[in-house]
Amino acid sequence: MDRFSIWEVNMDINEGNNQPSMAEPEPEDHRYLFKPRWVSEREERLGRKIPVSPNVLAVVKLVITPLFFVALNAAPPLSAARFWASLILFLSFPLLDYLALLAARAQGTEKAFGRVLDRITDYPLLFILAWFSVPILPLFLLLLKLLIDLLILALYFLGRGSPKNRLRTGVNYATLLAMMLAVEGRARFITPELTSLLLVANIVFNSTAALYNLGVLQKRFIGDALSGANLLCGVFSMVFAARGRLEFSLLFLMLGAAFDGFDGAAARKFGGTRWGVYSDDIADAVNYGLAPGAALFLTLPGLEGWVLGLGYTAFTLSRLVYFTLNKSESDPNYFCGVPSTMGALITICSLILFSGYPALVGMMAGVASVLMVSFDTHYRHLGRALSEHRRAFFGMPFLLILLLAGGKLFGVHLPVALILVACMGYGFRPAALHLIQVMRKTG
């Protein structure tokens, strides 16, 4: 896709050298993601009801830390009681962070010292999980994660950057949760292999923030960095396809789509480089063209894999080239033909659901290819449409939770089937609407 913003998000990777001194509170950042008034009002009421200082809530995490260590070290290793105790204690850390933030705002005590204290009290959790992860995760990755996190904190003490922000906090907690689930071995889809890849992504993300705080990177490079992350997701998607793990291949394709949306938001907010559009197009070609084509070639046997893989990649690249050449004349609110993201999702989902029926997979890949090169058909830009109805963003986390829960309860085929149905509905929607209009006129 192009650099049009798919999600209007607050890309607060870091505020750089313009941060206030440690003696002053940091200014409230501009929110690009709409928050309903009722949410703000409830948060304000909840903050006023918290009777203690936010610093006390931060210290409570230090009390929970030894309990978390005992829970992880309890026997037997795979017991349900140990797992749920560890999970509840882990989730108390982000919950206390959230309550401390609300209390600080309500009490007017949101100071830099409190943010640093809140950050420091998270490090014992990181050290404990790193210690228990040594037998299953590469030691050099764990050490690198620890060093980069300590570097970010040290840079803040030197007046460079922020000790904490929402985006980095979310990425860190997601990585730590994956590490805990891998240690417990209770979630079959959170394997040490996948956790190592998430740890690599976390290290890259935090390294980017650290380099920016050091002045090595500039804001205008952020969009290119996110395009690079999109490209890496395409590479990981091909790696998992080669290993027969198509569900992870689909996961990284969708993660790449998220980076594809973020790079547009970053380019519009921070500016870009002369190579920005090219890096974005190359990343899209890898993630949406080469990766699904490679999955077709690697999954389907014999001649079918060769023909479908090469044919799909050729159709996708032609769609991307057409879009690039006609970008200046196109309407940013619409796509000419189905976007390549949808074509890739249709293809990978079909491989997962119908891998035993090469003819059916070929038909679905052919449908995706035809939809992508149907340049006379205009498709609403989903990012632009969602940005006009920002409340819809709050349904996204619940939708993701439902998909994951469905996959856990009924197997991976259920969420994959739902994704496929949604993509096909989007692809055939213009034709269906046109058919309805024709029937109304003739009827």
Is the CATH number 1.20.120.1760 carried by domain 1-10+218-443?
yes
According to the model, what pLDDT value does residue 345 have? 92
pTM of the model: 0.62
CA distance linking residue 305 with residue 287, whole number of Å: 18
CA distance linking residue 45 with residue 283, whole number of Å: 45
- Quick one: CATH architecture of 35-217? Up-down Bundle (1.20)
Tell me the DSSP string of 166-209. Answer: HHHHHHHHHHHHHHHHHHHT--TTS-HHHHHHHHHHHHHHHHHH
Phi, psi values for residue 34, rounded to 5°: -65, 135
Phi-psi region of 36 (alpha: psi -120 to 50; beta: other; left: phi over 0): beta
Q: What would the pLDDT profile of 186-231 be if each residue is shown by its tens digit? A: 766 677 887 888 888 888 888 878 887 777 766 667 777 778 888 8
According to the model, what pLDDT value does residue 8 have? 33
According to the model, what pLDDT value does residue 329 have? 64
According to the model, what pLDDT value does residue 89 have? 92
**Could you tell me if 166 and 108 are in contact, meaning their C-beta atoms sit under 8 angstroms apart?**
no
Low-confidence ranges of the chain (pLDDT < 50): 1-33
According to the model, what pLDDT value does residue 156 have? 79
CA distances from 196 to 123, 164, 172, 179, 200 (A): 19, 23, 13, 9, 6
**Could you tell me if 65 and 124 are in contact, meaning their C-beta atoms sit under 8 angstroms apart?**
yes
* Angle of helix 222-242 versus helix 192-213 axis, rounded to 10: 170
According to the model, what pLDDT value does residue 392 have? 57
CA distance linking residue 169 with residue 149, whole number of Å: 11
According to the model, what pLDDT value does residue 295 have? 92
**Domain 35-217 in the same topology as domain 1-10+218-443:** yes
Q: What would the pLDDT profile of 377-395 be if each residue is shown by its tens digit? A: 777 767 666 656 555 555 5
According to the model, what pLDDT value does residue 328 have? 64
Coil, strand or helix at 27: coil
The structural domains of the chain, with segments of one domain joined by +, span 1-10+218-443, 35-217
CB within 8 Å of 122: residues ≥ 6 apart: 61, 93, 97, 172
According to the model, what pLDDT value does residue 386 have? 62
